[in-house]
Chains A and B, each alone.
Chain A
């Protein structure tokens, strides 16, 4: 049986007194895995450990069965593409030269490197910017160049650290499509982000990190269910809302109502889908002018999971 793309056990990393990652044990196999966590949660530390750029203080990490704290780790990079979280830093280079240089570092000859660079640029729709220096590109374009360099050798494992930062909506969509396609082809993508809906857009499988600890791991839907058990707030503006709210309360689909002097009504519910159905029926006549639902965003999710873990 072939080794999983990434396997780690008791992985710990400190930066002086600061805990970067603490006791992470997990396996990541084929498909897209979302690495989700707020800034400083340990996502980039995990990526660096998985690429051998930093060494663990304790524990170990393997990529395709190869320990990444050993000198012979470089062999595994034939199968790995990594887009670092930071900017590209080779500002004086033209995009094509930058990619060509990295392709040659991967062992390609000069001509082959040029072909690989052209193909990678084409993949991220930057062919027309091949001769532009990285310093002359927008952040979104540089992000695409970063993605291109990770794709140079069609890697079996793609590690993307906040790949959508600074990208325009069109680039975001094409990047998300690419990530989904990569995962669907049987290869592995680790997609790190601090934005929940970005991760939701590419995968259902997530690893949640918080303050360097593994908070949860599994299907996003299962984690979402936990979130959905928490009372949610729906803010309504319109006419005749008091009667509608009273009816929802009586039917048991709302657990609390607050009426504001402005006429706005806040409903609290543990049955959000049922409430939304009810409101859709009642509000079809135009009684509801606006509706806002507090999103189960990352903070909510983490707050909930932290409560659960206490």
Chain B
């Protein structure tokens, strides 16, 4: 299988603090990380390659030069080759434009690497949380999709995906080429080995700029051509704490809670 994994560099949202005076996000000093959902997509690709070592994993990322860090991390974990897609023409793109740029970049990379059978993405990025870029890449390329994947495997020549649904999971068979997006599985993604880490640090990562994508329509990219615009952002109002119950004994506390919930007709 020839696989392509789309990754994004995101701020670690667990480290984000709110400026209590200005009521804005403090982004300085917040570490940038490989989007966790993308690491699940990479792990899914790596597991397919474990079973069929002739498989290849190419990884791409759109972002500034610094985003090479997550490509190197992906190389260290499991990828064979990496490309950065970077250019100020791409800046400010919403999901429709971003997915268009990525789909054009994928077509361009296929000229060198050959056609990909499976394109794997994280379900969503933890900064934007939209979960739209994966399905929109699929639509731009005209491919079928399965979202909320937990793991993927190839059986009898067919790509099969274990998909999370409300009451369990389903095994879905999908035609290739296809796009799969991944949520958190029950297992942890693998760590890089020291040897792979050292090799990744030395890896040459080609950059695809706007001018390297001859077929791209400049009227379909960037802030100016994005259908959606952010009108404003604000820090949500914190709900204030309610009634604190701390009686002498746990029994008294529990009984008081029961009384309060009953009186409020909550139970």
A, B: real partners: no
